[in-house]
Amino acid sequence: MMLPLSTTEFAPAKVNLSLHVTGLRDDGYHLLDSLVVFCDVGDHITATVASTTALTLTGFFAHEVPQGHDNLVMRAARAFAGDIGLAIALEKNLPVASGLGGGSADAAAVIRAVLRLRRDHDLTARTRAAAGDTAAVLALGADVPVCLGSRPARMRGIGETVDRLGAMPDCCIVLVNPGLKLATPDVFRGLVAKANGPMPDRLPHWPDARSLAAWLSTTRNDLEEPARRVAPVIGDVLGLLRDQPGALIARMSGSGATCFALFETRARAVTAAAAISRARPAWWSVAGAVIGASDDVFS
């Protein structure tokens, strides 16, 4: 029996556990060295073969999604679906411009959806076989290559070098955003030192969440200081996260303003997220688990 020409993909939040800015290219792109993980909190994309490509939006943050020509979901569909029309339904659960790579995760989910539809329905001749074309993926955004795999990875260069990591310790995470959008270019412009040291050449093995957090304390997010100058409330978010019982480390993700804290258990993470929601009901606060190298969370 013919399968329906539709598929659903999970687009998990990307979290930069560390983010070292190591240089600035002549073309203005910053060079990065970042330890990236994903968690089981995110958006959902459903793509259905249709006569034309169109986007519908649901979810708590649907009203924040830009719908113009540069919308990443539509750009990914145009770039990779060839002459196949896609009716795309995006359930937007992640805040926009928040340091969690939500738009990049959504674009990556569209690419995965095209690949799945092509495999299941023999659409190869009418779609681009370009998911392995780093330049085409990177053209959508620096975070899209790492979001395509959505597994623990080390991301370097301008995002084009993605080294998948092996086993990661089980740990849970709390994400908190103070209801603030930060423009990434504004944060990078405030970065005083453009060439900082990278992470060690070889990353260690972390047997548990505590050892991971201890090692992370020797690393940095070089964008945190300039982001805090733009948005001092980030300091309040970090302080509240660090005050939660069981919090192993708290740091800003990406260019902000979302911050995270790692926990050993889901129960402690859930308790912390609930406490922050009570203390700051206008903030977005959610608990989740870090996706491991071999976790099967994709539909």
Active site residues: 14, 143
Residue with tokens 């259905």: 48
> Collapsing DSSP states into helix, strand and coil, what is residue 90?
strand
- Name all contacts of 134-139 with Cβ < 8 Å and 24+ positions apart: 134/160, 135/160, 136/79, 136/80, 137/108, 137/111, 139/79
Sheet holding 249-252, edge to edge: 249-252, 259-263, 172-177, 284-289
Residue 92 corresponds to which tokens in the numbers above?
A: 């937007």
Give the C-alpha distances (Å, rounded to integers) separating 258 from 4, 78, 180, 251. 38, 30, 8, 9
The span from the CA of 74 to the CA of 76, in Å, is 5
Of 259, 292, 11, 297, which is closest to residue 153 (Cα–Cα)? 292
With the C-alpha atoms ordered 188, 192, 195, 198, is the resulting torsion angle positive or negative?
Answer: negative
The span from the CA of 159 to the CA of 237, in Å, is 27
Measured at the alpha carbon of residue 253, what is the angle toward residues 251 and 259, in degrees to the nearest 5? 55
Residue with tokens 């406490």: 275
What number of residues does the chain have?
299
Residue with tokens 């990177």: 138
CB-side neighbour CA atoms (13 Å) of 132: 1
